[in-house]
Amino acid sequence: MPALDQALRAALAHRQPLLGELHAQGSDCYRLFHGSQEGAGGLTLDRYGPQLLVQSFHHSLTRDELLPLVEQCRATLGAPLLLVYNDRSRGNSRIDRLDPVYRAEAEALDDLVGHEWGLAYRVRGRHAGQDPLLFLDLRNARGWVKAHSAGKRVLNLFAYTCGVGLAAAAGGAREVVNLDFAEGNLAVGRENGLLNPELPPMQFIQSDYFPAIRQLAGLPIAQRRGQQLPSYPRLAPRQFDLVFLDPPAWAKSAFGTVDLLRDYQSLLKPAILATAADGVLICCNNLAKVALADWREQVLRCAEKLGRPVRDCQVLAPAADFPSSDGQPPLKTLILRF
């Protein structure tokens, strides 16, 4: 049997206990094969409800490599998963090739629904952005938020498709505010809200992070000399009981640069100030080259310097569908209690 098939067989066998748990808790979105750790760097297979999303980042898969993998997943899960193969190994590589296996069936590209922690999430195999609409390694963090949001005012920063906000709403939050500058991402967040009509409505703020969080934190908005800032929504200073900070690795805007390697502080500082005195801040760093111990120390030092020492700091790891042989997964999450 070719090495790739064998690697997938081992990965699926390894996940059997986890899959049982996930199905029991109402989740049908998870990673089936995490290539970098399971024998095929640059290849991932994810289940998103009825869909099997295969992504290759280094090399394209041939039809003869791809189809046995798909069959193995279908047979193991006993589900007729709809294949979407997104080859991200070349520029513009998601454009369909002539072979129908690369095009995906029309029903695989429909607007579908996946589930996590009993909640419904919009799933689209292909859309305007590169990444899937739900980041699966954040499942445990969403679960934590769902279990700890009752009665809380929750602020979801860099909200993307508002998965964390939805988990908070489902957990009984008193108020959920999702903040992101991309209207398209917030629009999926609104769809996610509509897919769960039993939940109270969430709020959405379309704004750049820097002016929004600085206003909430009661800090001035820095203006670079001679440069006119774009307009931004005005917000009154206020604090939240639970703040979730999960920024991208790097992004530049007129207001500042998100840079998880060189400057986590400028993101963290106002987020701490927008967290209530006895509140919780959950912060993430998804950059593989940042070591957990170093980053943790930086985070704790920043809080200390602000006069907001952390009473308790808990590390939350992704679930076993994101194995890491060295115990250092790229996504690091800290739960800080003040």
Q: Which spans of this chain sit near ligand SAM (rule: CB under 6 A)?
A: 135, 138, 158, 160, 163-164, 180-182, 185, 208-209, 246, 248, 251, 253, 258
Report, in Å, the least distance between residue 181 CB and ligand SAM.
4
In the complex with ligand SAM, which residue's Cβ is closer, 66 or 216? 216
CA-CA distance, 217 to 235, in Å (whole number)?
A: 10
In the complex with ligand SAM, which residue's Cβ is closer, 7 or 182? 182
Provide the 3-class DSSP secondary structure of residue 250: strand
Report, in Å, the least distance between residue 284 CB and ligand SAM.
7
CA-CA distance, 337 to 331, in Å (whole number)?
A: 20
CA-CA distance, 196 to 201, in Å (whole number)?
A: 10
In the complex with ligand SAM, which residue's Cβ is closer, 73 or 212? 212
In the complex with ligand SAM, which residue's Cβ is closer, 254 or 291? 254
Report, in Å, the least distance between residue 7 CB and ligand SAM.
27
Beta strand 153-157 with 240-245 is parallel
In the complex with ligand SAM, which residue's Cβ is closer, 41 or 248? 248
CA-CA distance, 107 to 96, in Å (whole number)?
A: 16
In the complex with ligand SAM, which residue's Cβ is closer, 33 or 181? 181
Report, in Å, the least distance between residue 13 CB and ligand SAM.
29
Place of tokens 């990673």: 31
Rg value, the chain, Cα = 21
- Tokens standing for residue 1: 């049997």
Report, in Å, the least distance between residue 252 CB and ligand SAM.
8
In this structure, what are the phi and psi dihedrals at residue 259, rounded to the nearest 5 degrees?
A: -145, 95
Report, in Å, the least distance between residue 258 CB and ligand SAM.
5
In the complex with ligand SAM, which residue's Cβ is closer, 19 or 186? 186
> Which of 37, 17, 29, 55 shows the shortest CA–CA distance to 331?
37
The two most distant CA atoms of the chain are separated, in Å, by 65
> Which of 73, 62, 53, 70 shows the shortest CA–CA distance to 99?
62
- Tokens standing for residue 40: 């095929």
- Tokens standing for residue 141: 């963090």
SS (H, E, C) 97-115: CCCHHHHCCHHHHCCEEEE
Report, in Å, the least distance between residue 164 CB and ligand SAM.
5
Report, in Å, the least distance between residue 255 CB and ligand SAM.
7
CA-CA distance, 215 to 237, in Å (whole number)?
A: 6
Report, in Å, the least distance between residue 146 CB and ligand SAM.
13
259-to-210, 227, 251, 267, 285 alpha-carbon distances in Å: 13, 21, 7, 9, 10
